Structure 1
Amino acid sequence: MPFLPQLPHPARVISLTGLFQRCQSHIPFRLKQALLQPLLNRLFREQLQDGEFDFLEGRLLGLEVKDLGITLAFGCHDEQIRVVPADRPDAWIRGNKGDFIQLANQAEDPDTLFFQRRLSIEGDTELGLAVKNLLDSVDWCEMPALFQRSLKLMQQFQSGS
């Protein structure tokens, strides 16, 4: 049996989430960028190589996780995802962490999340819908195992809160 780390109690995770909420605004953007950009480019390497992100070339999509106070923007340049400050994105996708976790875990249909207004698209809705459709087409089962396990753990802790 592989080594399984001792998981923290859900109340402890909720407490850590609160700490993250208070601290994340003090984390320099450059550090967030340095962590997220390589991770996203690795996760979506195949889609980037296949040109599935080409519609983002020269455009910016803002992402807001409202209950965590996180706002970032993403673009694409030379088949690389770029993380930039969310000053003036062409479109926004907004929602709470639990809804984004459900989207990534495919626990909820993306259309349901948008129709129920748990996730919203504002601004250039064509760009927002293109991103939604791209995320809907990703075979998340082909993502690295650590990424999949992390998403499952986040979903378990989210449903336990």
Structure 2
Amino acid sequence: MSLLTARLPFPRPDASTLVSRVISKTESVLPFKLKKNLLEKALNQAFKQPLEDDEFYFLEGQQLGLEVTDLAIRVVISCEDEQLIVCASDTADAWIKGEARDFLILANREQDPDTLFFQRRLLIEGNTELGLAVKNLLDSVDWDEMPSTMRKGIELASRLPL
């Protein structure tokens, strides 16, 4: 075998690496205003009942950051007039951090929030009181009342090799 015909063993990325790259690259080029509009609509639709019941009162005037560490996605949210809003700021009073798979496990109710936090798969940094209030709210939400499109989207995302 000559040098010209020899094949070097280049590592091939697995499916999870490819999906992660596509998601993080796509997220990084989308304009903030588009992400803000889409995310606010989805969040307010998903948490319509808890918002109407004023269960997000603790987030008024506070900023909560969510970071999907393996996808390099960071978003800061707050609550104003019973509506969740996405903030342009990159600073937050508290951060909840974890990998995409663990957030999907939480959303699918495959494990309760306490387990994910105690196993340190999801982390709270900063104002832990705010982070714990969010964790407790997530634990009390009836996920079966979420819009079916939201539930189907979460189920579909869970099948991706992240």
**Using the alignment, how far apart are the partners of 2:81 and 2:151 within structure 1?**
27
Matches within 5 A, 1:129-148: 129-148=132-151
The alignment-based identity, stated in percent, is 51
Runs of 5+ consecutive residues of structure 1 not aligned to the other structure: 1-10
C-alpha RMSD of the superposition: 1.7
Aligned counterpart in structure 1 of residue 24 of structure 2, from 17, 21, 25:
21
Partner of 2:123: 120
Deviation sequence 1:59-93 (CA, Å, 0-9, x none): 00000001111111110001110101342210000
**Using the alignment, how far apart are the partners of 1:12 and 1:76 within structure 2?**
37
Larger Rg: 2
Normalization by structure 1: what TM-score? 0.86
**Using the alignment, how far apart are the partners of 2:26 and 2:52 within structure 1?**
35
**Using the alignment, how far apart are the partners of 1:100 and 1:147 within structure 2?**
14
Whether 1:52 and 2:55 are equivalent positions in the alignment is yes
Partner of 2:9: none
Tell me the matched-pair count: 149
Runs of 5+ consecutive residues of structure 2 not aligned to the other structure: 1-13
Q: Which structure's relative contact order is higher, taking Cα pairs within 8 Å and 6+ residues apart?
A: 2
TM superposition shift of 1:12: 6.4
Residue identity opposite 1:117 in structure 2: R
Q: CA 1:86–1:65 in 2, change beyond 3 Å: closer, same or farther?
A: farther
Secondary structure in 1 aligned to 2:54? coil
Matches within 5 A, 1:1-161: 15-158=18-161
Secondary structure in 1 aligned to 2:153? helix
Normalization by structure 2: what TM-score? 0.85
